[in-house]
Each structure stands twice: as structure tokens, then as C-alpha cells.
Amino acid sequence: AQKVTQAQTEISVVEKEDVTLDCVYETRDTTYYLFWYKQPPSGELVFLIRRNSFDEQNEISGRYSWNFQKSTSSFNFTITASQVVDSAVYFCALGGNYQLIWGAGTKLIIKP
Amino acid sequence: DGGITQSPKYLFRKEGQNVTLSCEQNLNHDAMYWYRQDPGQGLRLIYYSQIVNDFQKGDIAEGYSVSREKKESFPLTVTSAQKNPTAFYLCASSSGLKLFFGSGTQLSVL
């Protein structure tokens, strides 16, 4: 069975600190995709990144970076120099066409 | 602006009542989805539709029904058979593997 675990229910840091959100997944598929979405207080989820199982390159986009390691089945997300606007619930998801398995989400609170 | 519009933002259901949540998209996406979100849990798929006049059950379809008569519209009906309907409902459409979400409807029971 496929499963996504986000063990951190809530993280609170002071602005400008770096923060890493953990995501561990389980799948028997050899081909799969991993995703991160952000849910701000407004409610709609916003796509952040997709990574396929063939590509273990780390990715950096501005203050955001992602570390994909198949050996540990992890796809962690780091925000560098966090800002108050980063406060949201972040979801990790696993899957392919039409059906995703979602983690429970990590609520990130950035204090000014 | 292109996007997904969900209405209403808040909805209250009386016991034994059916209620319908609206979802409209102008992104020209073929696939549309309904998810349920409960506090502290990930999203759970209720129904999805890959094309007009066709839809499939997700993981928690019992007590829900959908229709897909137009590409732009994918309404969700929460029937009286759904005994625990209080949740946040999210509609989405997809382009390839990327999901685009509406801003959600919070359904509560009176």
C-alpha cells in the first residue's frame, strides 16, 4: 500500500530562520511522482513542485529547496530565511495519474 | 483570470437534507476532482472525472454524488446518507500531473 507520512504536525519558527519539512513515503511502484503543495489561510492549495522517481537531483527555487532521496524514501522541503508569508499548511503527496496519496500536512507558523 | 470557482464558501446542512456544492473552471481542463479535508488529515478523494459524462469513485464516495454534464462544471451533492458531512471540500482540475484548486467550501451540520 502507498503511504505518505509527514510526522511534523506543526512547526513554529521566528522569521529569517531556516526550516525543513519532512516527508517520508512508501510505495512499491518503480515509477512515481512526488509533490509539495502549500495551503495558505485562504484555503486553496497551490502547487510548489513535482519530482519523478527517476530524478534524484535536488532542486532550488529562490528560498525553497527540495531534497529527494530514494534510499531513505524521503522528499524533504527546506525554506531558507523564512518569512511571515510562508505561514501555511504544507502537504506532501505521492502518486501518478488521477489519484494522489496525501500526507496529513505540516502547519508552519512563522513568527515576526 | 483563469481558475476554479467554488461556491458557496460556507454551507450549512440540516439533518436529512441533500446539499450541492458548486465547482466551475475556465482552465479548459478535462480532469476534475473533489476532495474532502478534515482537520489534521490529508486530502481524501471523493470523485474524479476524466472527461464529460464520465466519472469514477474515489476512496470515500459513499454518501456523495456528482455529475459532469459540461466540461466546465463538476457539482458535488452531499446526500443525507453521508452521516458525517462536516468538512472542508476542495474542487480541483488538472493539467497533466499538476492540480489547480478552488478556495473550498466549508460544510457544517446544523
Residue numbers of chain A with a pLDDT score lower than 70: 97
Residues of B with CB under 8 A from a CB of A: 4, 31, 33, 40-45, 48, 50, 56, 58, 88, 90, 92, 94, 97-104
- Are B106 and B51 a contacting pair, CB within 8 Å? no
What is the model's pLDDT at position B110? 83
What is the model's pLDDT at position A84? 96
β-bridge partners, B19: B78
Smallest Cβ distance to A104: which of B41, B50, B101? B41
Contact list, A50 vs chain B (CB under 8 Å): 97-98
Q: How far is B8 from chain A (nearest CA, A)?
A: 13
Work out the pLDDT band at B67, boundaries 50, 70, 90: very high
Per DSSP, the residues of A16-75 read T--EEE--EEE---SS-EEEEEEE-TT---EEEEEEETT----EEETTEEEEEEGGGTEE
Asked if the Cβ–Cβ distance from A99 to B48 is below 8 Å, we say yes
The x, y and z cell numbers of residue A51, run together, are: 519530482
Half-sphere exposure of B72 (CA within 13 A, CB side): 7
What is the model's pLDDT at position A97? 64
What is the model's pLDDT at position B1? 66
Long-range contacts of B42-45 (CB under 8 A, 24+ apart): B42/A4, B42/A91, B42/A93, B42/A101, B42/A102, B42/A103, B42/A104, B42/A105, B43/A45, B43/A91, B43/A93, B43/A100, B43/A102, B43/B90, B44/A102, B45/A99, B45/A100
Q: Compute the average pLDDT of residues B99-107.
A: 95
Tens digits of residue pLDDT in B22-56: 999 999 999 999 999 998 888 999 999 999 999 99
Q: How far is B79 from chain A (nearest CA, A)?
A: 23
Average pLDDT over chain B reads: 94
> Does the structure show a pLDDT above 90 at B106?
yes
The x, y and z cell numbers of residue A83, run together, are: 518569512
Work out the pLDDT band at B2, boundaries 50, 70, 90: confident
Q: What percentage of chain B exceeds 70 in pLDDT? A: 99
Q: Compute the average pLDDT of residues B56-85.
A: 96
- Separation of alpha carbons A95 and A112, rounded Å: 36
